[in-house]
Amino acid sequence: MTKNAENINEICKRYANALILSSEDKNELKIITENFEHFNKILRASNDLSGYIKNPLINSQKKSLILKKICKSFSYNQFFSGFIGVLTKHGKINLQEKILSEYKRIIDLKDGLTEIVVTTSEPLEKEVEIKLKAKLSDSLKSKIKLTKIIDKEIIGGIKIKIKSIMIDNSIKSKLTEFEI
């Protein structure tokens, strides 16, 4: 990882922790999470707004005025609205998606959740998903947050990623093993 990427990750962690520390109330953290997800959804949906926010030629005061109006129009939580103001003032508003990702990761850790990424070529049937989740939860002695990814290129089978451990039982990897 490059020095710049490490610095960005550290910045995102600090901002995410600051937002979490602004309220230890679980209900308020849930509202902040919903606000943050909605805010990012709005930015992704509007190329004009996203371009405006990311434009380095527009000063932070102008961006801040627009974002305050957006926060007010959607009745975002007071802490979240203030947080967006701080990000804008410090020129870090472009990191909002990475900060949200880090924010959710920290909350999951606090809640004792282990994220498991499951990659399949087709969506899992509900019954299979429930059994897989129960089996993994029992094996790890932990609550599980299952993130499902569909990737047609694995052809079939399953890939399971638990923290830094990868279990690759996909057909693609089995075929690759037989290549000369």
Number of domains composing the chain: 2
Say how far apart CA 44 and CA 17 lie, in whole Å: 24
Domain boundary, last residue among 109, 137, 161: 109
Q: Which domain holds residue 19?
A: 3-109
Residue 44 maps to which CATH number? Answer: 1.10.520.20
Answer yes or no: do 166 and 87 share one domain: no
The pLDDT mean for the chain works out to 90
Point out the domain boundary residue: 109, 131, 149.
Answer: 109
Question: Could you report the per-residue pLDDT of 8-62, keeping only the tens digit for each?
Answer: 889 999 999 999 988 768 889 999 999 999 999 999 999 999 999 989 899 999 9
Going 134 to 106 to 56 to 89, the CA torsion angle's sign is: positive
Same domain as 65, residue 8: yes
88 and 121 together in one domain: no
Residues 118 and 99 in one domain: no
